Amino acid sequence: MTELPGNRPSVLFVCTANICRSPMAEGIFKQLLKERTENWEKWKIESAGTWTNRGNSAARKAIDVLADRGIDISSHSSRPINHVPVNRFRLVLAMEAGHKEALQIEFPLVASRTFLLSEMIGEVKNIDDPIGKPLEEFVKTANEIERILVEGYFRIRELVQTS
């Protein structure tokens, strides 16, 4: 039996270092909720990394790309997944298949609530990590994350409400 978190809608985004993809997804989804959801502040939206240290800021290029969209992630601080109460999230969205698999093994209580981000729009693909690449790659990654979150918005809401 799966342990359910509290009544508060909650989504955890997970990538490797929690400095690019998952903080961008967290920021974009929070903005989307503000635009589309009446009680958006009741949602718990966070991010974490499978292989990271605690306290790293978001990558400068990730901060800049989201700032151009009016989203501020400059105060982001990375945290490892083992410092997060994963079982308290209704939905866990991973950026890569390896992340999803590791999360399902390490946190079996949330295995049925753990998906690839791309699965929210019926795809099964990894979101490429732009770290160490030119700014254009960060823009491309942010665009892909935003597209999936916009197109998958109702699927995410459905999963959060019914889990």
8 is catalytic: no
**Could you say which of 64, 69, 88, 129 is catalytic?**
129
pLDDT, one tens digit for every residue, the chain (163 residues):
344 556 789 999 999 999 999 999 999 999 999 999 888 888 999 999 999 888 899 999 999 999 999 999 999 999 999 888 899 999 999 999 999 999 999 999 999 999 999 999 999 999 999 999 999 999 999 999 999 999 999 999 999 986 5
Asked if residue 139 is part of any domain, the answer here is: yes
Asked if residue 130 is part of any domain, the answer here is: yes
88 is catalytic: no
128 is catalytic: no
CATH number, domain with residue 54: 3.40.50.2300
pTM given for the model: 0.93
**Could you say which of 20, 21, 79, 90 is catalytic?**
21
**Could you say which of 15, 79, 90, 113 is catalytic?**
15
101-106 contacts at long range (C-beta below 8 A, 24 or more positions apart): 102/50, 103/14, 103/50, 106/81
Asked if residue 2 is part of any domain, the answer here is: no
Q: pLDDT per residue over 130-141, tens digit each?
A: 999 999 999 999
